[in-house]
Amino acid sequence: MIPSAETNPSKKMINVLIVDDSSLLAELLQDILSLDPQMHVVGIAKNGREAIEKVKIFKPDVITMDICMDVLDGVEATKQIMTENPTPILIVTSSISHENSEKIFHAFSYGALDVFDKARIEFKDDQVSRDQLIHQVKYLSGIAVRPYGFLENPAARKQGVSSKWQKASDKIVAIVASTGGPQAILRILKSFDADFPCGILIVQHISKGFEENFMHWLNDECVIEVRIPKHNEVIRPAVAYIAPHDKHLCVNAKRMIELASDPAVGGFRPSGNILLKSVAEVYGKAAVGVILTGMGKDGVEGMMAIKKKHGVTIAQDEKSSMIFGMPKVAIEMKAVNQVLPLEMIPEAILKCLRG
């Protein structure tokens, strides 16, 4: 999910490469994007192999990438493009099947930035969805992406770190992330074992319709349970709760989960600030706040609220962040106790909980 305030402010022409094995869908995407005078479709590729070659020729500012294609699918194409010619990639595909979901998030792990459900434009004349597609493409075109492999890839198998806790902790961990967040969150959650002593609350800005896919992907990869919570759900140890689309995730005085339909904050619902401020109010010094990769400043005020209550605040460092936006602002505002590379954040969280 991208707030309206965070578009690409540049007036230069944005060159787009469309990758889709359906000529009808490719033409529809071209028609939609061409409605914006700042957009220029430089080429269309019908499979991943063709996309790799056309990236070398056209050097686009941004790519829309289908996932399920013959010859070479969007996952492998993303991996090769992000290795050889790093370019912002928006996955434009359907969220219907579990298999498709796995492919989407594997593409994320190779460096794709965001996802858009093509069904929103494929079967109906939905101008809001078409505007959102244009908005996402423009936003991603302004991001300086890193090549695949700039971070060591997470281990292929589940491998949590046993902590030998004596009892469940009365603490809480709250994580906020945006662009680049799915792979960062995976790295963190994958480090925790089934005896993790407290709950983990997560706000990840992600496009409509993909939060359940994100949940399934994390569950497939992690030892701890990952779920989308219900209103008034009790927070349990060793469970990570992902904010549902279009609902604010927060905690109440009884330390239960609340889902609210209050207005968006800073363009976001769910809002990282809403989550972190509620955690600061309810848990005080027992709160651990973590702000990860992403553009903008969502979560910064909430991190400050936790710090003022003498909780622990951790920010991902610049070198390991795909987008050093949210962490940078939090650091500059002095809302952060620790600035760490991604691979050190899980152990830092464990140390806070032991303490």
Distance of CA 336 to the CA centre of its chain: 21
Residue tagged 């209550």 (tokens): 309
Radius of gyration in angstroms for the set of CA atoms belonging to the chain, rounded to a whole number:
20
Q: Which position among 271, 298, 320, 321 bears the catalytic label?
A: 298
Q: What are phi and psi of 72, to 5 degrees?
A: -150, 125
Q: Which of 205, 271, 278, 320 is catalytic?
A: 205
Q: Which of 230, 225, 236 is nearest to 249 (CA)?
A: 230
Question: What would the two tokens of residue 109 be?
Answer: 């792990």
CB contact at 8 A, 143 and 244: no
Which residue type does 104 have? I
Beta bridge partners of 177: 204
Residue 205: active-site member? yes
Kindly give, in sequence order, each residue whose CB lies less than 8 Å from that of residue 310, ignoring residues fewer than 6 positions away. Answer: 284, 285
Quickly count helices (H) and strands (E) in the chain.
12, 14
CB of 199 closer than 8 Å to CB of 239:
yes
* Strand runs labelled E in 38-181: 39-45, 62-65, 89-93, 114-117, 172-177
Q: Out of 178, 207, 278, 321, pick the active-site residue.
A: 178
List of residues 6+ apart from 187 with CB closer than 8 A:
151, 154, 342, 343, 345, 346
Active site residues: 178, 205, 298
